[in-house]
Structure 1
Amino acid sequence: MTTGPRRSQPSGGVQSVERTFDLLELMADAGGEVALSELADRSGLPLPTIHRIMRTLVSAGYARQQPSRRYALGPRLIRLGETASKALGSWARPYLAELTEATGETSNMAVLDGEQIVYVAQVPSRHQMRMFTEVGRRVDAHATAVGKAMMANLPADSVAQLLTRAGMRPETERTITTVEGMQQELGRIREQGYAVDDGEQEVGVRCYAVAVPGAPAGAAISISGPEGRMTRITTDDVIPLMQRLAKELAAEITTA
């Protein structure tokens, strides 16, 4: 299905650069590997233009051509992604620290990378019993509050493709394991403005998350802790705080 160019009007930038990033984003949305015809279909750009851009990306190491003639994201993007994740983590820590100070629980920031989420920052709780997720850890999106918060901002067809590619392994008996079930869950998240992991990733652990609006590649912040303590935190108090911090973080990211 043709979706047309991702930017509907000139932004004042260099058109070829904008087109290059559009194609890279389309490749990422498609799981990292596409055919030229798919890029043409989704971007609305002429095949010769796409072919010229892809040749340049391949020669620079930001894309590679498979034996099947399909194009995949290249290894040089890894360094860019790692550096960007570190920068996001640095920007996020003061906001996470405020969240941990207010709630007493561990706060995290994660970004969506392909079919998985990656934790890029954390401020731990001062409680002796606390949640700890190593920065840099990758987990499937469907069993986490941060993953669900980010997926709630994606179109339904993109969510279905992401979940189909990744699979929906049951981490606990509470994990949502069907696309239909997840689509219903995401509808609830859009209505209430936050996501919950109620023992879906790890038994006895509860997590609340909100998306960082407008963050590149998708991002979310969360608090997590033992279910017994987390149930004493009222969403009426903590969710407005998390939404405010997410908006302030988004403003810093977009102006940096």
Structure 2
Amino acid sequence: MIETEPAAARNGIQVIARAAAILRVLRQNSTGMSLGQIAERVELPRSTVQRIVGALQEERLVIATGSGGGIRLGPEITALSEATRYSVVDACRQSLSDLSQRVDETVDLSVLRGTGMIFLDQVPGTHRLRTVSAVGDIFPLTTTANGRAALSMIPEDKARMLAEKEWARRGPSGNWDDLARVLEQVRATGLSYDIDEHTDGISAIGGGFHDDTGELHAISVPIPSSRFPDKKALVETALRDTLDRVRRMMR
């Protein structure tokens, strides 16, 4: 029996979806996983996972771990990720610089990866007393302006899962009902806040956007808390303008 084109297309889409699910599971387990562990997580037969993993290995999207028997993300994934990172950084750089000059404060760009916000770029402010985080630093989701901006833009069940994972890992436990109210306010206003919650003496305002690949990013402005009351209104207005500008670029 000859397979019809619509059925072939549906099967192709299903294979892609399954491959994507496997890659996402491996992204969250950087040390590697066995075929059985992957099959359990993605709820597919082990034989199906083995066939898909074999195809991904041929494209170097996954590789066997050094110890043997395990599978982890391969170098081609890293290359694709780096290409995306640099394109987003390049696209946003001028907007970040303009925002920093407008508010005379440091401006950060970060991306939601796994269970944290990874800093991709920063334009330092000119004040002698300023906030600086290194590119590559990972910030938590529940107590930071950029993390809350990201959480507010994903489905509530996934946001709750990420928050509870963070609380279990970092401790002490947070309260989902309290955080849910915070995230609802972020959705209503478009801006998120951290008032001395992540780092004593540092406050921040942030907002999120999706890039053209669908990845979730945040722009945030950390400010020494001693200056925050005087700068809050200016930063809110300037950050909203910048987010609008970046979102138009990403369409």
Report TM bin, short chain. 0.7 to 0.9
Distance in 2 (alpha carbons) for counterparts of 1:124 and 1:17? 45
Please state if 1:56 is matched with 2:55.
Answer: yes
- Quick one: which amino acid aligns to residue 60 of structure 1? E
Higher CA-based Rg: 2
Secondary structure at the aligned position of 2:130 is classed as coil
Number of aligned positions between the proteins: 233
Q: Deviations over 1:51-103 (max 9, x none)?
A: 54332113433235789x99654454233323322332222110111111111
Taking the TM superposition and a 5 Å limit, the aligned residue runs for 1:29-68 are 35-36=38-39, 38-39=41-42, 52-63=51-62
> 3-state SS of the aligned residue for 1:232?
helix
Greater mean deviation of Cα atoms: 160-169 or 28-37: 28-37
Query: How big is each residue's C-alpha offset from its partner over 1:99-157, in whole Å with a ceiling of 9 and x where there is no partner?
Result: 11111111111001100111111111111111111112112222211011001111122
Counterparts of 1:114-153 in structure 2, within 5 Å, are 114-153=114-153
Q: Deviations over 1:172-212 (max 9, x none)?
A: xxx98333432232122112211101111111111000111
The alignment status of 1:241 with 2:238, answered yes or no, reads yes
Residue 189 (structure 2) aligns with: 192
The answer to whether the 8 Å contact 2:115/2:166 transfers is yes
SS class of match (1:208): strand
**How far did 1:26 drift?**
4.6
TM-score (norm 2): 0.76
Q: Does the CA contact (< 8 Å) of 1:106 and 1:125 recur in 2?
A: yes
| TM-score, scaled to structure 1 | 0.74
> Structure 1: any 5+ residue segments left out of the alignment?
1-9
Whole-angstrom CA distance in 2 between matches of 1:224 and 1:176: 25
Specify the alignment match of 2:179 in structure 1.
182
Please say if residues 176 and 200 of structure 1, whose CA atoms lie closer than 8 Å, have aligned partners that are also in contact: no
Partner residue, 1:226 = 224
> 2:74 and 2:100 mapped to 1: Cα distance?
37
**CA distance in 1 between partners of 2:177 and 2:73 (Å):** 30
1:71-90 → structure 2 map (5 Å cutoff): 72-90=72-90
Unaligned runs of 5+ in 2: 1-8
Give the aligned CA root-mean-square deviation in angstroms: 3.4
Q: C-alpha separation between the residues in 2 aligned to 1:156 and 1:179?
A: 11
Q: Distance in 2 between matches of 1:48 and 1:144?
A: 42
Q: Deviations over 1:18-58 (max 9, x none)?
A: 536743575378667763354357xxxx9977654332113
Alignment CA distance shift 1:176-1:87 (3 Å):
farther
Give the distance between the partners of 1:177 and 1:205, measured in 2 at CA.
20
Q: Percent identity?
A: 20
**Within-5 A mapping of 1:203-218:** 203-213=200-210, 216-218=214-216
Alignment of 1:80-119 (within 5 A): 80-119=80-119
Structure 1 SS opposite 2:230: coil
